[in-house]
Chains A and B, each alone.
Chain A
Amino acid sequence: MVTVTAATVSSAQEIVASVMDPEMPLLTLADLGVIRSVDVEANLVCVTITPTYSGCPAMATMRDDIEHKLTDAGYGSVQIKTQLSPPWSSDWISEEGLAKLRTAGYSVPGAAPRRTSGPIALTLTAKPRDILCPQCGSANTRLSSEFGATLCKALYRCLDCLEPFDHVKEI
């Protein structure tokens, strides 16, 4: 039984923040920017998270991991809420998260596209991003597929060092 003090609240927040993303286990959920709030009331911890993509299969695992980490730490019951709106944006990945991605050889997302008025513009032929190879720094890179190993990544190839690499998409 945990009694609520400022310490238990910040400890619950730290526990939730340190849970790892199951698909990119170098990032914590705090790095990824999916945690909206952590509240502690009596013996109940209420965590609100925002899914990255509608179909992200990692969401169920994230929920389970948050719950288990908190109950292992002695919190009696855990409620996990989903906040769908506003939708997650790659802009919410923390500076520390971006640094970890770079170190692990990912190309990090640029600023998410801003919505302008009028119909959403079609992107037919323009190269959507200027991306440097995370291995050798070359700008001579080519998109292999806008859809990569997980929903949040696009697949690129460096034409100089010939290495393929993942780019975390801007959404």
Chain B
Amino acid sequence: MNDHDSAYDGLVDGDGHGQWAFGTSFDDPLAGVDTTVPDDVDLGALAHYCLMLGDDALVSSQRLAEWSTRAPELEEEVALANVGLDLIGQARLLLARAAAADSTVVPFISDTSPVPAEDALAFFRDQFGFRNVRLVELANGDFAHTVVRLLVFSTWRLALFDRLRTSRDPVLAAVANKGVKELTYHRDYAARWVVTLGAGTAESKRRTADALLEIFPFVDELFVPTQDELVLAEVGVGVDPRTVRPEFDAVLAQVLHAAEMEEPPSRFSGFVGGRGGRAGLHTGALGLLLAEMQSVAREHPEGVW
């Protein structure tokens, strides 16, 4: 006997007041979490930092979800969706944390808006407000592109989160502690596929080499610190991304060696006027991704059920 025989029960036996019809925020992901910030921490910088880490996860998750119904095998479809779901969980906590640290980062929708802060951040910012690195927004390409990108992303993020576990912000430390366990699985999954494809057939090797060539120009951006990261690293809240480069390079070299692949020549895609994804300057791919992700929510901003 359980209480979940009908999917519709949950919709009608709620607490009586309507919830916003979209997004995931049926409950506050930070409900009951101690969100006290140490006195010497710049709240604006903390909010921006949470947006960076949250947007990296949110945009990655949306790209992974695009594989649903079209992955090469059912098991891989389930795996990619699972990785995406872990990242959505991280994004929810981080976006809610950003809003709690500095409410001015949350876009204003209307005085009567029922949209929770984390959803307002996800669905009502335009692309210039997103602070993700450009790596995560690139179109999926084929399966080799997706696993190469996931390898790069999860290797980098795992190294960052491993250091964030000792952040003086209790929420960042908790998110990182949890995230490390999840990202370890993601990195192993992606690494095994890169080895399988790289050391596989001539065709899978060719596709993996193409993926490396196209994705590597977006790697250097991962290690360029923003002012906010430097300020927070100074007070023991954030991590200077430059410090994780040696670990990242070592893991990538280990995987590429096992995959019998050469690391492609470093060709940084560069910034435009000194600005990249962290400053809101993105590739054209992000606008298309956001159009798909946000259009229904924006059509009915006051929708409740």
Q: Mark B82-97, 1 if CB is under 8 A from A, else 0.
A: 1101111110110000
In the assembled complex, the CB of A84 is this many whole angstroms from the nearest CB of chain B, namely 3
Which residues of chain B in 1-27 are interfacial with respect to chain A, using CB atoms and an 8 Å cutoff?
Answer: 2-4, 10, 13-14, 26-27
Q: Which of A80, A88, A123, A148: most chain B Cβ within 10 A?
A: A123
Bitwise, A45-82 to B at CB < 8 A (1) or not (0) is 00010010111110111011100100000000001111
Which A residues from 122 to 171 make CB contacts under 8 A with B? 122-125, 144-149, 151, 155, 169, 171
Which chain A residues lie closer than 8 Å to B171 at the CB level? 84
Whole-angstrom CA separation of A48 from B191 in the bound complex: 37
CA–CA, A55 and B118, complex, Å: 14
The interface bits of chain B over 27-54 (1 if a CB of A lies within 8 angstroms of the residue's CB, else 0) are: 1011111000000000000000000000
Tell whether, in the assembled complex, residue B175 and residue A25 are in contact, meaning their CB atoms are under 8 Å apart: no
Q: Which residues on B sit within 8 Å (CB–CB) of A22?
A: 2, 4
* Interchain nearest-CB distance for B109 vs A (Å): 23
Q: Which chain B positions have C-beta within 8 A of A147?
A: 75, 78-79, 81-83, 185, 189
A80 x B78 contact (CB < 8 A): no
Interface of B is mostly: helix
A1: Cβ under 8 A from any B Cβ:
no
Whether the pair B32, A48 counts as a contact (CB closer than 8 A) is yes
Distance in angstroms between the alpha carbons of A51 and B92 in the assembled complex: 13
- Distance from A169 Cβ to chain B, minimum over Cβ atoms (Å): 8
CB-based contact B170/A82 at 8 Å? no
Residue of A54, A57, A88, A145 near B90 (CB, 8 A) is: A54
**A7 at the binding interface (Cβ < 8 Å):** no
**Which residues of A lie under 8 Å from residue B75 when comparing CB positions?**
144-145, 147, 155
Q: Is the CB of B4 within 8 A of A25?
A: yes
Closest residue on chain A to residue B80 by CB atoms: A147
B258, A60: Cβ atoms closer than 8 Å: no
Q: Chain A residues with Cβ under 8 A from B228's Cβ?
A: none
Say yes or no for A6: interface residue by CB 8 A criterion: no
Please tell me if A20 contacts chain B, counting CB pairs below 8 Å.
yes
Given known A-B contacts A84-B33, A147-B83, A149-B78, A20 and B2 have beta carbons under 8 A apart: yes
Q: Give the complex CA separation of A123 and B82 in angstroms.
A: 19
Q: A55 to B60, alpha carbons, bound, how many Å?
A: 14
Tell which of A25, A80, A122 touches B2, judged by Cβ atoms closer than 8 Å.
Answer: A25
Closest partner residue, chain B, to A86 (CB atom): B177
Q: Which of B3, B30, B83, B254 contacts A65 (CB 8 A)?
A: B3
Within 8 A of A (CB), among B80-138: 81-83, 85-90, 92-93
Which residues on the A side are within 8 Å of B281 (C-beta)?
none
Indicate the size class of the contact surface on chain A. Answer: 35 or more
Check if A81 sits within 8 Å of B33, measured CB to CB.
yes
Residues of chain A within 8 A of B10, CB atoms compared: 61, 64
Cβ of B173 < 8 Å from any Cβ of A? yes
Q: Using Cβ atoms and an 8 Å threshold, which residues of chain A touch B255?
A: 122, 124
- Asked whether B139 is an interface residue with its Cβ less than 8 Å from the other chain, the reply is no
- In the complex, A115→B26 CA distance in Å? 34
Residues on the B chain within 8 Å of A124, using CB: 188, 191-192, 195, 254-255, 258
When the two chains form the complex, which single residue of B31, B79, B180 contacts A145, counting CB atoms closer than 8 Å?
B79
Which of B88, B89, B195 has the largest number of chain A CB atoms within 10 A?
A: B89
* Alpha-carbon distance between A54 and B75 when the two chains are bound, in angstroms: 21
> Which residues of B are found within 8 Å of A119, using beta-carbon distances?
159, 162, 247, 250-251
Instruction: Collect the chain B residues with CB atoms within 8 Å of residue A84's CB.
Output: 33, 93, 171, 174-175, 177-178
In order of increasing CB-CB distance, the 7 nearest A-B pairs are: A55-B89, A81-B32, A54-B89, A84-B174, A147-B82, A145-B75, A147-B79
Beyond the given pairs A54-B89, A120-B184, 5 more chain A to chain B contacts, judged by CB atoms under 8 angstroms and listed by A's residue number, are A85-B170, A87-B177, A123-B188, A151-B82, A169-B185
Q: Interface residues, chain B, CB within 8 Å of chain A?
A: 2-4, 10, 13-14, 26-27, 29-33, 75-76, 78-79, 81-83, 85-90, 92-93, 158-159, 162, 170-171, 173-175, 177-182, 184-185, 187-189, 191-192, 195, 247, 250-251, 254-255, 258
Which residues of A line the B interface, CB within 8 A? 20, 22, 25, 48, 51, 53-57, 59-61, 63-65, 68, 79-88, 119-120, 122-125, 144-149, 151, 155, 169, 171
7 contacts between A and B (CB under 8 A): A61-B10, A84-B174, A85-B174, A120-B162, A125-B195, A147-B185, A169-B185
